[in-house]
């Protein structure tokens, strides 16, 4: 198992943001966390990474605790947070070089820059990039250490259709080479294209866990979008 989480609960004061979530992830598999805004997707990711305090029976990434073995674990794990902030006056090249220096081994930077369509932008300030370019840079940095597992929180939010397709293609290739992915997304076409398994969260509670086809079957809906709306309780309410 690349990732294993058992009965994890995240509370903010008396409010439970994530209630007893459990899941595992195999090598080369992709799991998608779905749910409305505030359903607990990002809190789950933060808790799994050990960035957010949580209660759990088991939490292991690549067989180790991300809290106690932080250094070893994150040598092989990439993370793209929902919001990626950079130092005020840093350039694209500097941001990449700095990230590269954090790891013992990394992938080919110039290759990644090309894949993510950032060539020619190396000397630009990160803050002068467009939203989509900045998002692509954030995903690039997550993939830079050649990770075995990567967390992508809303990976294509802000990207145009073409960029999304290219990114999916790239992730699918990496998946074939054994990369495991945990992602959150609001786009069901993306989930359909990438995920082997999905978890639908509603107010922190896991309301569905299984494959995309199982979601269709058990909800008796014809599209993933409808099945998602059915489970997430977003069907009629605004």
Q: What residues line the site for another protein (CB under 8 A)?
A: 49, 51, 70-72, 74-75, 77, 79, 81, 83-90, 94, 97-104, 145
Task: Name which of 46, 58, 51, 64 is nearest 2 in CA terms.
Answer: 64
Residue whose CB is less far from another protein, 94 or 225: 94
- Nearest-approach distance from CB 73 to another protein, in angstroms: 8
Residue whose CB is less far from another protein, 21 or 141: 141
- Nearest-approach distance from CB 105 to another protein, in angstroms: 11
- Nearest-approach distance from CB 98 to another protein, in angstroms: 5
Residue whose CB is less far from another protein, 11 or 84: 84
Residue whose CB is less far from another protein, 87 or 213: 87
- Nearest-approach distance from CB 48 to another protein, in angstroms: 10
CB 52 within 8 A of CB 46: yes
- Nearest-approach distance from CB 74 to another protein, in angstroms: 5
- Nearest-approach distance from CB 211 to another protein, in angstroms: 28
Residue whose CB is less far from another protein, 133 or 228: 133
3-state secondary structure the chain: CCEEEEEEEEEECCEEEEEEEEEEECCCCEEEEEECCCCCHHHHHHHHHCCCCCECCEEEECCECCCCCHHHHHCCEEEECCCCCCCCCCEHHHHHHHHHHCCCCCCCHHHHHHHCCCCCCCCCEHHHCCHHHHHHHHHHHHHCCCCCEEEEECCCCCCCHHHHHHHHHHHHHHHHCCCEEEEECCCHHHHHHHCCEEEEEECCEEEEEECHHHHHHHHCCCCHHHHHHHHHCCCCCC
CB 43 within 8 A of CB 10: yes
Residue whose CB is less far from another protein, 83 or 236: 83
């Amino acid at each position: 198992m690349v990732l294993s989480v058992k009965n994890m609960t995240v509370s903010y004061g008396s409010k439970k943001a994530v209630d007893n979530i459990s899941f595992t992830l195999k090598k080369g598999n992709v799991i998608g966390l779905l749910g409305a805004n505030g359903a607990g997707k990002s809190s789950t990711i933060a808790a799994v990474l050990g960035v957010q305090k949580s209660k759990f029976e088991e939490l292991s990434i690549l067989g180790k605790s991300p809290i106690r073995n932080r250094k070893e674990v994150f040598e092989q794990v990439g993370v793209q947070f929902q919001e990626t902030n950079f130092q005020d006056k840093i350039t694209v090249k500097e941001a990449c070089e700095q990230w590269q220096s954090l790891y013992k081994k990394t992938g080919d930077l110039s290759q990644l820059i090309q894949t993510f369509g950032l060539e020619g932008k190396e000397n630009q300030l990160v803050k002068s990039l467009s939203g989509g370019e900045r998002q692509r840079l954030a995903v690039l940095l997550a993939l830079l250490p050649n990770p075995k597992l990567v967390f992508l929180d809303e990976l294509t939010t802000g990207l145009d259709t073409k960029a999304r397709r290219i990114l999916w293609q790239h992730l699918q290739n990496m998946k074939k080479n054994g990369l495991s992915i945990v992602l959150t997304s609001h786009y069901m076409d993306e989930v359909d294209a990438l995920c082997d398994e999905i978890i639908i969260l509603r107010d922190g509670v896991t309301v569905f866990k299984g494959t995309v086809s199982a979601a269709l079957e058990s909800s008796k809906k014809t599209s993933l979008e409808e099945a998602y709306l059915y489970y997430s309780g977003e069907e009629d309410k605004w």
